[in-house]
Chains A and B, each alone.
Chain A
Amino acid sequence: MRRWLIPGGHIPLDLNGGDYISFLNLGDKTDALLFIYHQDRNCVGPYKVQLKAWRVCKLSLSELIDPEALILDEPYSVEIQTSKSVIVQFSRRDSTHSHRSLCGGISYSQE
């Protein structure tokens, strides 16, 4: 199992803001399982994301509803699990602060 941990999640209330995870799957189709950790209640998940073979998948975390919508403007962390090696990039668009409207970075999995 491959595992990624992104501790600094926060989706702004601004309609144009959001946290995103991009997946690049350079192999056979597989699933990614996401678990969301909160400050004051139990972890929610898994959120299942289907990753098609040799495809990119961009996920907007604010649009997830199954099993539960993420609450905006609150800190959260994401754990991602896959059974196969894929490439993961986390990015944030936060237009409430024009000087840092987009940031992101590539995460490497812990095997």
Chain B
Amino acid sequence: MSVQWENWSGSIIFKAHKLIRPKSEEEVMDIIRDASLKGRTLRVKGSSHSSMPLFVTDDTLISLERMRGVISHDTQTSTADCLPGTTIKTLGDELLLRHLSPPNLGDVALQHIAGAIGTGTHGTGVGLGNLSTMLIGGKLINGNGELITIEETDTHLLNACRVSLGLLGIFTEMKLSLQPLYKLERKEWFVPFLKFIDHIEELINQNRHMDFYWYPRNDLVKIRTMNHPGQGVMNVSEALLDEEKIDYAQNILHKHTEIKNKFEEMEYELPFEEGVKCFLKVRDRVLKKWRKLVGWRLLYRTIKEDDSYLSPAFGRKTVSISLHQNSSLPYKEFFQDIEPIFRDHQGRPHWAKKHNLTKKELRSLYPKWDHFVELREKFDPKGVFLNSYLKETFT
């Protein structure tokens, strides 16, 4: 029976032929083998938090919501195996019981871990990689219905699998590299932008996590830092402390366990040294042209470089800049106007947020693109995991 589905913001709406909710690895394998045999296609919907048509299909939509939870752990090595449909919130809660914490998380805790890893979702912290860097092994069913065990030593496969947009297969288990349970202290300050910007590099380098929101309607900045309790630096004398909280890392790193307000988002990830130059240009453009329509804040974060072939942080220490706009107000025009600034600064788009790049443009941004595409063809020769957008981009 067909099912209508939409992403969380409502900008992507489609009708899938059917929705299947497997409960086990064997069921996933059967579904893929059946699709491969019959020439059908599948997409996993995750939490439907993506703003790009990654999970859109007119064929079979898969929900892994029944495959959730941490299944084993090792406190000696600070690792855990979890199921792919585990939400970030559930992962944090279950790791707490096992005296483990994630090294970093994003702001939102609604995503499934497989989707967050597969799209290169990230938090902030110049010494901390995106969520995909937690993945050190696991099990995946490829497009032929074969079970692939990914070992920590298989660097090529891991680098391809981490940020893979569900193109290589469906994960049935994910082994994560974690840390012993620890606490973080979150602090948030408000300060005028021009009082803040000269201090940004020191704030980034001397806090475990630091990011900031810039508000176009009042030109204020909200600086957010997270550190081991008692550590960290705030060097902006005019900054007014607005909020502080100490808790276990998994309860501090994310801030939203629900999102009531529907908004659209564009995010580009740039070489670290381009970050401030690019942000100043974006701020100038927003103040001159978009302030009338845009009340939403812009977000500036940092990410450690990594080796994942399709990671926007591949090979370079990274800054991300995000634009937001209410989904009920003009957002396409806003994003299209700012996007060339990001591109001028060698930006790579977040895979799960709005962008307008073609296959040719994307390929030019990723030095290991062809390595990934080669492996995709090997893992999914019949294109079981392709939809029209992904086919256009990766074949």
Contacts and interface: CB of A to CB of B under 8 A. Distances in A.
A45 to B, nearest CB: 12
Interface stretch (A28-36, A68-76, A77-85, A103-111): A68-76
A8 interface: no
A74 to B, nearest CB: 8
A69 B326 contact: yes
Interface residues of A, number: 17
B328 interface: yes
Contact of A66 (B215, B261, B294): B261
Interface string B316-357: 000000000010110000000000000000000000000000
B261 A65 contact: yes
Nearest to A48: B260
Interface in A24-73: 44, 60, 62-73
A68 B291 contact: no
B194 to A, nearest CB: 12
B238 interface: no
B23 interface: no
B329 A63 contact: no
Nearest to A66: B261
Contacts of B263: 65
A13 interface: yes
B287 interface: yes
Given A60-B218, A66-B261, A73 B295 contact: no
B291 A13 contact: yes
B353 to A, nearest CB: 18
A64 B295 contact: yes
B291 A69 contact: no
Interface majority SS on A: helix, strand, loop or mixed? loop
A32 B59 CA distance: 46
Contacts of B262: 67
A72 B217 CA distance: 9
A15 B288 CA distance: 11
A69 B261 contact: no
A73 B328 contact: no
A63 B293 contact: no
A68 B215 contact: no
Nearest to A63: B217
Interface of B: 215, 217-219, 260-263, 287, 291-296, 326, 328-329
Given A65-B263, A69-B296, 15 more contacts: A13-B291, A15-B218, A15-B287, A15-B291, A62-B217, A62-B218, A63-B217, A64-B295, A65-B326, A67-B262, A69-B326, A70-B295, A71-B293, A72-B291, A72-B292
Interface of A: 13, 15, 18, 44, 60, 62-73
24 contacts: A13-B291, A15-B291, A60-B218, A62-B295, A63-B295, A64-B295, A65-B261, A65-B263, A65-B296, A65-B326, A67-B262, A67-B326, A67-B328, A68-B326, A68-B329, A69-B293, A69-B296, A71-B293, A71-B329, A72-B217, A72-B291, A72-B292, A72-B293, A73-B292
